[in-house]
Structure 1
């Protein structure tokens, strides 16, 4: 068994709640990112940000050997795409926003004049011909902000290009589950910050530079990771993200894999995931009695792992994911135990690497 243990304390919960509740839509992540950098500044020697807002906290910045642990800060949202003469707003996706959950949801439109509140409306069941029932789609969902004209909407500060977010807040359900609109992937940002905190708390002397990276624009093509990989040029990257709990209804395990909340973090298999670093993580988990699950992602992971692995001349990369229910909805759920075990697994893996310099080449 490990000599180390980890459990989420009340101060960490306060940070998590504040971080999750702040808005960080793709392309405008600065508010959420500021909360993260303010928090992690106590545990790192240096913080840097790039042009588009990816933030990096660094421990042992003078080392020539560089290891990244990474998450992404951006959350999905919508854009104002078209305003009718009657003041009804039609939308375009910013990331993979789910059109089916939109009707009857409250929204906030971010304008230069401040927040404008609205709702995704939908015709009442009484007014619809059930034989001609239409499902929600990006083409027909709309936002009502309680105005009667386009001019009135514009006078409130609303224009094409304004970002639209959901205001749903974090809560803990039945002691075990964290619920939020933005666990994808702010729970990863929480995990890597807690790893840094645990390193400092336990006085671990790292023999390499640890770069704790919170990337932007993952939801639209891994853009922040691609940029920061060129800047840092790491030797190793360990990425955290979320993955589907396949025990939720209407999910086919034969296609999506066998993953369940509460049974531990998920270690990924894919071409971009290097066998050597993956096997070190698995061996660490087994040696330290940390429960984990496995998942195959076939051609690509769809996470920032792919961006780091294929950057520069290639980077030894691995993926540790948190099982999550209801991805890209406002009620995403993760199990507290999985989060704690992921933090401990990354922490223990870093110590294993500390004692094995074969991963640092060139």
Structure 2
């Protein structure tokens, strides 16, 4: 396994729930530090590595570090835990899943329990919902639960690790969007290895709290005040069963990065990225957003006095599950596309629509 793969597995297998990203951010920073000139973090844990920090023109490449999870919300007298969402966690996939409950000093294993099929009522009341999913930690009373260090507010994550799928895909939890953190770190490594001198400052940003409303990106955009921002995130592979291409468009895992058109995506910046791809015959796909993109692109675009921003997405199967699946080829293509754009970017380019 290469050093890059070792980092990928270590980073993806580490839990970094929204609001509790510190351990994953430390892993990411430790990997990134050799490739940047300086780094810093903010009060909520967003981590930033900087190449050529003295330059006045600032370019951001960004991903978000947090993953969806749960909070313990209620402990029954019998020792069962009920939960509430931390981000867009899906109650439908919870029954029978193994979990870790993060206490103040250790992790406690548990399971989302569920009654057997032959004892359920067979109507809508036996379908998973936020009101009926529960966790069993092997306790028979609330006192036993509390003796384990579990209390209301403890965060809960699924216990699943990254796996290689047929040599062509990765599958696991939290590819949304720690795979983005991996990709932008590889961009920094490639720049360092090449010895290339950038004509601008490059800020490699791994933001927190995207899953609850782009909060980390809002904070760091105000701090950095970039001139340009290119965001990486994931989008849906819509070729899998149960997707509606008429509604969601057609994006295919394995066919390259997806470039989104939308109000918060700066068209002149998007055109530069497309030009870079076409010059090198790099694969890409297109998508459209009717309002905002729902990603940190929106936070950067509408920060400060407005920042030209664009979105490069990785097609992902089964988003917000424990088996999020992405093409290895697409991951490399996203890295190549960001590198191509950075190679071509002229800091003197006029991004204004109207002079």
TM-score band, normalised by the shorter chain? over 0.9
**Aligned-residue offset at 1:358:** 3.2
Cα 1:133–1:60, aligned 2, differ >3 Å: closer, same or farther? same
Corresponding position of 2:110: 118
What value does the CA root-mean-square deviation take over the aligned residues?
1.4
What TM-score, normalized to structure 2?
A: 0.97
Residues 65 and 360 in structure 1, CA contact (< 8 A), matched pair in contact too: no
CA shift for structure 1 position 354: 3.9
Q: Tell which deviates more after alignment, 199-208 or 321-330.
A: 199-208
Indicate the larger mover: 200-209 or 125-134: 125-134
Cα distance in 2, alignment partners of residues 125 and 180 from structure 1: 27
Residue of structure 2 aligned with 1:34, choices 26, 38, 47: 26
> Do residues 75 (structure 1) and 67 (structure 2) align?
yes
The one-character-per-residue Cα deviations of 1:289-347 (angstroms, maximum 9, x if unpaired) are: 00100000110100000000000000000000000000000000000000001000000
Contact 1:206-1:354 at 8 Å conserved across structures:
no
Q: Following the alignment from structure 1 to structure 2, what is the Cα–Cα distance between the partners of residues 91 and 193? A: 34
Deviations 1:250-278 (A, max 9, x none): 00001111100000000011100000000
SS in 1 for 2:197: coil
Change (3 A) 1:204 1:184: same
Q: Which residue of 2 aligns with 1:190?
A: 182
Secondary structure class of the residue paired with 2:192: helix
| CA shift in 2, pair 1:355/1:215, >3 Å | closer
* Structure 2, gaps ≥5 residues long: none
**CA distance in 1: counterparts of 2:244 and 2:222, whole angstroms:** 38
Query: Which residue among 207, 217, 221 is the counterpart of 2:213?
Result: 221
The alpha-carbon deviation at position 359 of structure 1 amounts to 4.7
Which position in structure 2 is the counterpart of 1:345? Answer: 337
For 1:285 and 1:68, the matched residues in 2 are separated by 19
Deviations 1:161-216 (A, max 9, x none): 00000110011110010111010000100110001111111111101000000000
Moved over 4 A (4+): none
Q: TM-score with structure 1 length normalisation?
A: 0.95
When the two structures are aligned, how many residues end up with a matched partner? 353
- Are the counterparts in 1 of residues 282 and 333 from structure 2 also a CA contact under 8 Å? yes
CA distance in 2, matches of 1:137, 1:330: 18
Distance 1:76 1:227 in 2: 20
1:96-135 aligned within 5 A: 96-131=88-123, 134-135=126-127
| 2:265 counterpart (273, 297, 301) | 273
Alpha-carbon contact 1:284-1:352 (below 8 Å) kept: yes
CA contact (8 A) 2:95 2:133 kept: yes
Q: 2:275 aligns with which of 276, 283, 286?
A: 283
Asked if 1 retains the 8 angstrom alpha-carbon contact of 2:57 and 2:347, the reply is no
Query: For residue 52 of structure 1, what is the aligned residue in structure 2?
Result: 44
CA distance in 1, matches of 2:213, 2:120: 38
Question: 1:218 is paired with a residue of what secondary structure?
Answer: coil
Equivalent residues of 1:95, 1:219 under 8 A apart: yes
Instruction: Give the whole-Å Cα distance in 2 for the aligned partners of 1:53 and 1:131.
Output: 45
Structure 1: unaligned runs, 5 residues or longer: 1-8
